[in-house]
């Protein structure tokens, strides 16, 4: 297909925004100062810029899906990303919100959010990247068939929570995008 192009899948917290454990409001979300410039460059290079994020705070009752929608709208407006896909689920015996207490295919490291993005956008997955700060991000990228990039912001500054070998390691999203051609 003539419009098929690769994507840079971006984890939200620790990659595009500052890692703050559970961000509960759009106002509390702190977008990295370099994020818009990075997304602009991603677009210039011919990639989609798509955020893929686990947001179990919804399933835990810490904030609503409507508030998460406000966060996503702000992220799109201020960075220019093409879309934000999220998993609100929290499968746990202590859950008090049964509508979110499910085993799903969207929670990273599962690839459901990427599969949805592939249906919504014409993505060349083999030339795509997944950029994140955790092992779950890298595992998601590898399972989906992308190159998996670790950034040393957020949780990426410490040891990974599971063994996985990234295809590249950068100090930040900004350093990765600068190296991208």
Please give the annotated binding residues for Zn(2+), written as ranges.
Answer: 87, 91, 104, 106
Which of 157, 117, 113 is CA-nearest to residue 134?
157
Torsion angle of C-alpha atoms 65, 71, 76, 82, degrees rounded to 10: -40
Contact in structure between 163 and 180 (CB atoms under 8 Å): no
13, 105, 122, 137: the active-site residue: 13
Q: DSSP assignment of 114-143, as one string?
A: HHHHHHHS-B-GGG-EEEESSHHHHHHHHH
11 carries an active-site annotation = yes
24 vs 28: CA distance, rounded Å? 7
H or E, element range at 76: helix 65-79
13 carries an active-site annotation = yes
11, 73, 122, 171: the active-site residue: 11
78 vs 48: CA distance, rounded Å? 16
Cα–chain center distance at 143:
15
55 vs 11: CA distance, rounded Å? 11
Residues marked active site are found at: 11, 13
């Amino acid at each position: 297909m003539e419009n098929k192009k690769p994507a840079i899948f971006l984890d939200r917290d620790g990659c595009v925004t500052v890692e703050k454990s559970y961000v509960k409001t759009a106002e509390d979300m702190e977008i990295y100062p370099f994020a818009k410039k990075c997304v602009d460059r991603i677009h210039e290079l011919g990639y989609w810029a798509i955020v893929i994020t686990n947001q179990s705070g919804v399933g835990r009752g810490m904030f609503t899906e409507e508030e998460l929608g406000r966060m996503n709208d702000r992220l799109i407006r201020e960075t220019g990303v093409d879309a934000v896909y999220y998993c609100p689920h929290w499968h746990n015996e202590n859950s008090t919100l049964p509508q979110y207490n499910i085993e799903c295919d969207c929670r990273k490291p599962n690839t459901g959010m990427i599969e949805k993005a592939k249906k919504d956008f014409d993505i060349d997955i083999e030339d795509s990247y997944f950029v994140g700060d955790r092992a779950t991000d890298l595992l998601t990228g590898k399972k989906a068939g992308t190159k998996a990039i670790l950034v040393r912001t957020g949780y990426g500054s410490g040891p990974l929570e599971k063994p996985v070998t990234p295809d590249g390691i950068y100090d930040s999203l900004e350093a990765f995008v600068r190296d991208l051609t």
